[in-house]
């Protein structure tokens, strides 16, 4: 009896999803747009920063330094001002983002810090260029100077797209489980079909499984499509085991589908479920290490991150895809994601009200 009921419930869910004109395009278009747009848009790389140069030295040193900065590709040095006070007007008017003032062998920087992140990156870029120029100048006088060579492991070209793609895959799974599942039961409540289920002999566990399984399959399809897009666009393939990656993605998807159904069960309307889901998803994304490294967060925020399942999946995805870590190296992430999956689905089970007969 239980298997037949579950079979009919699954058939009902798949028919509803296939008849939904938004669902199928969402499965294909969502990962395509996210993986094509976000890795290029969500980057901390700064280029073409307008610079004002105040050259008080007028020497070969200042001209060579200006040429080196311009050739880096990060700065445009088309503005020149005779005094620092005049150069400040370029920043105040929004025409430039940094002032470089050269006084004999001294260099002074003045950076527009309205955007603090950009300002710190610009300052780091300029410091690196100036230090490299100074080292090369010194090396010409002292040929025996020791040189240091750095080797970048797992991402040798420091490609930001390579770093972002695993995190975006985790974000896609979060959206599927958190948003679509959150709208499901609340949508049936608004349509009145939930009342028909309530007066039927369908068990609560069968009904919830009928809701969960289609989203699990949907999440697996999105993961595979996303991996295919990452390979086609960026040549990125998992260095680690693909079954291990799919195991983490599946357990996480099970957990967040339970989270979505929990929100749907306690919400009285789709609008309410949507607002609550967005509230939590913003926290999960912003404190999940997708855009900001967890080590850069305040200590109190880092403790909160330990309660964020998205952080564990993003970390596991990056370690599997970029570093090639195996299951034995990911036990902490596995147990954390599994615990969240059990917890969220338990919440969904106890909060869903179904009067069985």
What is the pLDDT at residue 355?
45
What is the pLDDT at residue 269?
81
Q: Is residue 79 part of a domain?
A: yes
Residues 180 and 290 in one domain: yes
Q: Is residue 149 part of a domain?
A: no
Distance from C-alpha of 206 to C-alpha of 216, rounded to nearest angstrom: 15
Residues 33 and 177 in one domain: yes
Distance from C-alpha of 70 to C-alpha of 91, rounded to nearest angstrom: 18
Domain residues for the domain of 174 are: 2-42+157-351
Distance from C-alpha of 283 to C-alpha of 175, rounded to nearest angstrom: 13
Residues 7 and 66 in one domain: no
| pLDDT tens, N- to C-terminus, the chain (357 residues) | 457 777 777 777 777 666 766 666 666 777 777 788 777 766 666 778 899 999 998 888 888 888 888 888 889 888 999 999 999 898 888 888 899 998 877 888 888 877 666 787 888 888 888 888 877 776 655 544 444 445 566 777 667 778 888 988 998 888 877 777 777 777 777 766 666 666 666 777 777 788 788 888 888 888 999 999 999 988 889 999 999 999 999 999 999 888 988 888 888 788 888 888 888 988 898 888 887 778 778 888 888 999 999 999 999 999 999 888 999 999 999 999 999 999 998 988 888 765 433
Nearest to 280, CA basis, from 174, 208, 165, 184: 174
Last residue of a domain, one of 108, 141, 174: 141
What is the pLDDT at residue 135?
75
Residues 28 and 134 in one domain: no
- E-strand ranges in the chain read 49-55, 75-80, 98-103, 106-111
Q: Is residue 357 part of a domain?
A: no
Residues 341 and 257 in one domain: yes
| Chain position carrying tokens 């939904």 | 20
Residues 9 and 76 in one domain: no
Q: Is residue 147 part of a domain?
A: no
Residues 60 and 35 in one domain: no
Last residue of a domain, one of 117, 141, 165: 141
Distance of CA 42 to the CA centre of its chain: 8
pTM comes to 0.74
Residues 57 and 195 in one domain: no
Per the structure, how many domains does the chain have?
Answer: 2
Last residue of a domain, one of 111, 141, 171: 141
Integer angstrom CA distances of residue 303 from 235, 240, 308: 35, 29, 10
Residues 134 and 208 in one domain: no
Q: Is residue 152 part of a domain?
A: no
Residues 302 and 332 in one domain: yes
Q: Is residue 296 part of a domain?
A: yes
Question: What sign for the dihedral angle of Cα 168, 217, 203, 335?
Answer: negative
Residues 137 and 228 in one domain: no
pLDDT tens digits, one per residue of 295-317: 778 888 888 999 999 999 999 99
User: What's the CATH number where 82 sits?
Assistant: 3.40.190.10
Token representation of residue 80: 């020149």
Question: How many residues appear in the chain?
Answer: 357
């Amino acid at each position: 009896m239980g298997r037949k009921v579950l079979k009919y419930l699954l058939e009902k869910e798949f028919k509803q999803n296939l008849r939904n004109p938004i669902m199928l395009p969402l499965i294909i278009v969502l990962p395509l747009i996210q993986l094509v747009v976000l890795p290029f848009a969500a980057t901390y790389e700064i280029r073409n920063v307008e610079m004002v140069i105040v050259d008080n030295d007028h020497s070969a040193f200042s001209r060579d330094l200006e040429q080196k900065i311009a050739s880096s590709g990060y700065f445009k040095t088309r503005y020149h001002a005779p005094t620092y006070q005049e150069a400040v007007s370029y920043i105040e008017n929004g025409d430039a983002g940094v002032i470089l003032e050269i006084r004999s062998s001294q260099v002074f920087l003045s950076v527009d810090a309205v955007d603090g992140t950009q300002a710190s990156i610009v300052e780091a870029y300029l410091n690196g260029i100036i230090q490299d120029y100074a080292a090369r100048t010194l090396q010409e006088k002292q040929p025996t100077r020791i040189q240091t060579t750095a080797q970048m492991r797992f991402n040798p070209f420091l490609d930001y797209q390579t770093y972002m793609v695993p995190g975006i895959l985790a974000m896609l799974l979060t959206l599927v489980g958190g948003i679509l599942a959150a709208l499901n039961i609340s949508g049936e409540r608004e349509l009145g079909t939930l009342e028909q289920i309530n007066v039927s002999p369908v068990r609560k566990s069968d009904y919830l499984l009928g809701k969960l399984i289609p989203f699990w399959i949907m999440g697996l399809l999105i993961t595979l499509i996303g991996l295919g897009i990452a390979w086609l666009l960026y040549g990125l393939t998992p260095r680690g085991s693909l079954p291990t990656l799919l195991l983490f993605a599946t357990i996480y998807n099970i957990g967040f589908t339970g989270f979505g159904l929990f929100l749907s069960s306690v919400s009285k309307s789709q609008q309410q479920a949507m607002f609550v889901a967005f509230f939590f998803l913003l926290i999960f994304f912003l404190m999940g290490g997708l855009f900001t490294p967890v080590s850069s967060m305040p200590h109190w925020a880092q403790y909160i991150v330990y309660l964020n399942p998205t952080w564990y999946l993003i970390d596991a995805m990056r370690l599997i895809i970029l570093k090639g870590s195996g299951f034995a190296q990911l036990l902490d992430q596995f147990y954390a994601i599994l615990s969240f999956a059990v917890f969220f689905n338990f919440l969904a089970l106890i909060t869903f009200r179904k009067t069985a007969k």
